[in-house]
Amino acid sequence: MILGCPNQDADHIFPLGILDHSQNIDSLLYCNFGWRARGIFIDVKKQDLPTPKHNIFFGHLLTLKTYIDKLPKDAHPFIAFGQMARNFSGGIFYLDMWPFMDPVLMCTSATAAIETTQKTVLATKKPRSLESWFIPIAGGPNLFTMEEDDWRFWRNTFNPGFSQAHIMKLVPSIVHEVKAYQKLLLEYSEKKEMFLLDEVTLWFTMDMIGAIVLLDSKRTKNPLAVALLSQLRWKLSEQELNPLKRWNPIRPIVEWHNSRQMNNYIGKELDKRYQDYLSKIKRGDNVRSNSVISLVLEGYLKQSQSKKPSITLEKRFKSYATYQIRTFLFAGHDTTSSTICYIFYLLAKNPVAMDKIRHEHDNILGAELDAAPKVITENPQILNQLTYTFAVIKESMRLFPAASSIRQGVEGVSIRDDEGRTYPTGNTMVWILHQAMQRDPRYWAQPNDFIPERWLAAPGDPLYPVKGAWRPFEFGPRNCIGQGLVMIELRIILALVIRQFDVRDAYEEFDRLNPRSGGIVMVEGERAYQIEGGGAHPADRFPCRVSLRKQGAL
> Which residue type sits at 133?
W
Q: Taking 60 as the threshold, does the pLDDT of residue 284 lie above it?
A: yes
- pLDDT band, residue 506 (cuts 50/70/90): very high
For the four alpha carbons of 312, 314, 317 and 320, in that order, the dihedral sign comes to positive
Q: Taking 80 as the threshold, does the pLDDT of residue 293 lie above it?
A: no
* Spatial separation of the C-alpha atoms in residues 280 and 61, rounded to whole Å: 60
* Spatial separation of the C-alpha atoms in residues 493 and 204, rounded to whole Å: 11
- pLDDT band, residue 311 (cuts 50/70/90): confident
* Spatial separation of the C-alpha atoms in residues 402 and 530, rounded to whole Å: 9
Least confident of 106-115, 192-201, 262-271: 262-271
- pLDDT band, residue 239 (cuts 50/70/90): low
Axis-axis angle for helices 171-191, 197-214 (nearest 10): 160
Output the pLDDT for position 98: 86
Q: Taking 70 as the threshold, does the pLDDT of residue 34 lie above it?
A: no
Contact yes or no for 107/84 (Cβ under 8 A): no
Output the pLDDT for position 246: 66
Q: How far is CA 286 from CA 277, 283, 289, 437, in A?
A: 9, 9, 9, 48
Q: Which residues of 342-353 are buried (b: 16+ CB within 10 A; e: fewer)?
A: bbbbbbeebeeb
What are the pLDDT digits (tens) for 331-362? 888 889 999 999 999 999 999 999 999 999 99
Which residues are registered as beta bridge partners of 414?
A: 424
> Which residue type sits at 509?
E
- pLDDT band, residue 14 (cuts 50/70/90): very low
Q: Taking 90 as the threshold, does the pLDDT of residue 511 lie above it?
A: yes
- pLDDT band, residue 288 (cuts 50/70/90): low
Q: Taking 60 as the threshold, does the pLDDT of residue 3 lie above it?
A: no
What are the pLDDT digits (tens) for 421-466? 999 999 999 999 999 999 999 999 999 999 999 999 999 999 999 9
**Residue in 343, 380, 404 with CA at minimum distance from that of residue 492:** 380
Output the pLDDT for position 501: 98
According to DSSP, residue 48 is labeled T
- pLDDT band, residue 29 (cuts 50/70/90): very low
Output the pLDDT for position 27: 46
Averaged pLDDT, 268-280? 86
Q: Taking 50 as the threshold, does the pLDDT of residue 415 lie above it?
A: yes
Output the pLDDT for position 219: 56
Which helix (H) or strand (E) segment is 406 a member of?
strand 405-408
- pLDDT band, residue 52 (cuts 50/70/90): very high
Averaged pLDDT, 75-81? 95
* Spatial separation of the C-alpha atoms in residues 108 and 423, rounded to whole Å: 13
Least confident of 8-12, 25-29, 75-79, 478-482: 8-12
Averaged pLDDT, 477-502? 96
Share of the chain above pLDDT 90, in %: 63
* Most confident segment among 41-55, 209-223, 404-418: 404-418
Output the pLDDT for position 32: 53
- pLDDT band, residue 16 (cuts 50/70/90): very low
Output the pLDDT for position 13: 26
List Cβ neighbours of 355 (8 Å cut-off, separation of 6 or more).
554
Output the pLDDT for position 307: 61
480 is in an annotated binding site: yes
- pLDDT band, residue 216 (cuts 50/70/90): low
Output the pLDDT for position 274: 86
According to DSSP, residue 75 is labeled B
According to DSSP, residue 297 is labeled H
Q: Taking 90 as the threshold, does the pLDDT of residue 305 lie above it?
A: no
Instruction: Decide which of 33 and 189 is more confident.
Output: 189
* Spatial separation of the C-alpha atoms in residues 118 and 478, rounded to whole Å: 9
Q: How far is CA 153 from CA 131, 141, 146, in A?
A: 19, 12, 10
Output the pLDDT for position 296: 75
**Residue in 80, 38, 45 with CA at minimum distance from that of residue 59:** 38
List Cβ neighbours of 361 (8 Å cut-off, separation of 6 or more).
372, 386, 389, 494, 495, 498, 499
* Spatial separation of the C-alpha atoms in residues 364 and 386, rounded to whole Å: 7
Q: Is 522 helix (H, G, I), strand (E, B) or coil?
A: coil
Q: Taking 80 as the threshold, does the pLDDT of residue 37 lie above it?
A: no
- pLDDT band, residue 95 (cuts 50/70/90): very high
Averaged pLDDT, 247-268? 91
Instruction: Decide which of 216 and 23 is more confident.
Output: 216
Mean residue pLDDT of the chain comes to 87
* Spatial separation of the C-alpha atoms in residues 400 and 538, rounded to whole Å: 9
Q: Is 196 helix (H, G, I), strand (E, B) or coil?
A: strand
List Cβ neighbours of 114 (8 Å cut-off, separation of 6 or more).
467, 468, 475
Output the pLDDT for position 525: 93
According to DSSP, residue 427 is labeled T
What are the pLDDT digits (tens) for 314-336? 888 899 989 999 999 898 888 89
What are the pLDDT digits (tens) for 152-164? 988 988 888 888 9
Q: Taking 70 as the threshold, does the pLDDT of residue 492 lie above it?
A: yes
Q: What are phi and psi of 497, to 5 degrees?
A: -115, -40
Q: How far is CA 85 from CA 35, 66, 119, 294, in A?
A: 25, 14, 23, 45
Q: Taking 90 as the threshold, does the pLDDT of residue 18 lie above it?
A: no
Q: How far is CA 222 from CA 217, 218, 225, 486, 533, in A?
A: 10, 7, 6, 23, 21
Helix, strand, coil share of the chain (percent; to 5): 55, 10, 40
pTM: 0.91
Cα 325–chain centre separation? 16
Cα 198–chain centre separation? 15
Side-chain half-sphere exposure of 408, counting CA atoms within 13 A: 20
What are the pLDDT digits (tens) for 379-413? 999 999 999 999 999 999 999 999 999 999 999 99
Contact yes or no for 287/98 (Cβ under 8 A): no
Instruction: Decide which of 45 and 284 is more confident.
Output: 45
